[in-house]
Structure formats: structure tokens, C-alpha cells
Structure 1
Amino acid sequence: MSHGLLWLPLLLVFVLLTALGWLERRRQRLFREWAEGSELAKLDSCGGARLVDGLLSWCSFEAGQLKQDDFFVIKQLELVELLSLGSGEAPLTEESQGACRLRLVGGGEQKDLPFADSERARRWIDELMSRSRCEL
């Protein structure tokens, strides 16, 4: 009887890991369907983003579905800044790593696109600026 009780926590951990894996697989499947046909796309712990026909839109995963957060028209893009995610308006230095956000400025508005990885965000800056020039 005592040996059986020792296996119970392992069984609970297995069930928990299986459920988390199923949720992650569902999140990735929903993102793949949402981002199908996009020119540029990303999925990380901060959410998903896609660029389709000059419109950059981003979403988050909530309650088993993707929720559209915001969008930005790329041809209005004038400036992209790399800022830290959690500390106000502090710009991110070249050596900084980790979570950050892209501040998209143009057309009289500014919007923030969160990223979990600063290296990927830096690559997106180059891509977005080159595509905004192509749109003009």
C-alpha cells in the first residue's frame, strides 16, 4: 500500500505535463492557421505576430483561442524603437538580452509589439523597415 502511494505524485505530474503539452500543441496549431500566408510571422511566450499585405497584427493566446490585440499599417511606419518590456521607456542596449518590445511609430500613433527574445526583435526591426520602404 505504501509503495502505491509513492507512485501517486508521479502519476499526477505525468497528467499535468500531458495537459500542458496538449495546450501548447493547440496554441501552435491555432497560430499556424492564423499565420498561414503571412510574409513574416513569430510565436513566442509574449504572443504571436504576422505581416500580411502591409498590415502587421499581433495576438495573444487566451482561454484556448487567439485574441487579436492590435495592428499597425506598415506603410505608415516612420520609426521602430527597441525598448525593454518591463521598465517604462528605457531603450534596450545592443548587449541586452531577453524580453523587450518594439515601439512602432508612424501615422500620428505609436504602438508596442512585445517580444520574448531581443535578437529576434532586432531582426524584425530590419525586416519591418525594409518592407515599409517597399510599401512607399
Structure 2
Amino acid sequence: MSHGLLWLPLLLVFVLLTTLGWLERRRQHLFREWAEGSELAKLDGCGAARLLDGVLSWSSFEAGKLVVRDSFVIKQLELVELLALGSGEAPLTEEAQGACRLRLVGGGQQKDLPFSDAERARRWIDELMARSRCEL
């Protein structure tokens, strides 16, 4: 009997890991459907983003679905800044890594797009600025 009780925590860990894997698979499936046909798309720990027909929109995964948080028309893009995710208006240095946000400025508005990886955010800056120039 005591040997059986030793296996119980392992069984619970297995069930937990299986459930987490199923949730991640579902999140990725929803993202693939949402981002289908996009010119540019990303999925990370901070959420999902896509560029479709000149409109950049981003969402988060909540309650088994992707909920759109905000959008920005790329044609109006004037400036993209790389900022730290949680510390106010502090710009991110070139060697900094980790979570950050892109500040999109243009058309009299500014919006923040969160990223969990600064390298990917830097690549997105180049892509977004190139696409905004093409839209003009």
C-alpha cells in the first residue's frame, strides 16, 4: 500500500503536464487559424500579433480563445521605439534581452505592443518600418 502512495505524486505530475501540453497545443492551433494569411505574425508569452492588410493587431490568449487587444494602421506609422516592458518610459539598450514592448507612434496616437524576446522585437522594428514605407 505504501508503495502505491509513492506513485500518486508522479501520477498527479503526469496529469498536470499532459493538461498543460494540451492547452499549449490549443493555443498554437488558435494562433495558426488567427494568423492565416498574415504578412507577419508572432506568438510568444506576451501574446500574439499579426500584420494583415496593412493593419497590425495584437491579442492575448484568455479562456480558450484569442482576445484582440488593440490594432494600429501601419500606413500611419512614423516611429517605432523599443522600451522596457515594465519600467515606464525607459528605452531598451542594444545589448538588453528579455521582455520588452514596441511603442508604435503615428497618426496622433501611440500604442504599445508587448514582446517576450527583445531580439524578435528588433527584427519586427525593421519589418514594420519597411512595410510602412511601402504603404506610403
Which range, TM-score by smaller chain?
over 0.9
**Cα separation, 2, equivalents of 1:20 and 1:88:** 32
Partner secondary structure for residue 8 of structure 1: helix
* AA aligned opposite 1:17: L
Partner secondary structure for residue 91 of structure 1: coil
What is the aligned partner in structure 2 of residue 16 from structure 1?
16
Matches within 5 A, 1:1-136: 1-136=1-136
Report how far residue 74 of structure 1 moved. 0.0
**Cα separation, 2, equivalents of 1:52 and 1:95:** 30
Partner secondary structure for residue 57 of structure 1: strand
TM-score (normalizing by structure 2): 1.00
Partner secondary structure for residue 96 of structure 2: coil
Percent identity between the aligned chains?
A: 87
**Cα separation, 1, equivalents of 2:33 and 2:63:** 17
Unaligned runs of 5+ in 2: none
Supply the RMSD in Å over aligned alpha carbons. Answer: 0.2
Report how far residue 30 of structure 1 moved. 0.2
* AA aligned opposite 1:44: D
Question: Structure 1 runs of 4+ off > 6 angstroms?
Answer: none
Partner secondary structure for residue 87 of structure 1: coil
**Cα separation, 1, equivalents of 2:19 and 2:97:** 30
Partner secondary structure for residue 12 of structure 1: helix
**Cα separation, 1, equivalents of 2:26 and 2:88:** 33
**Cα separation, 2, equivalents of 1:66 and 1:85:** 21
**Cα separation, 1, equivalents of 2:60 and 2:70:** 10
* AA aligned opposite 2:58: W
* AA aligned opposite 1:8: L
Partner secondary structure for residue 86 of structure 2: coil
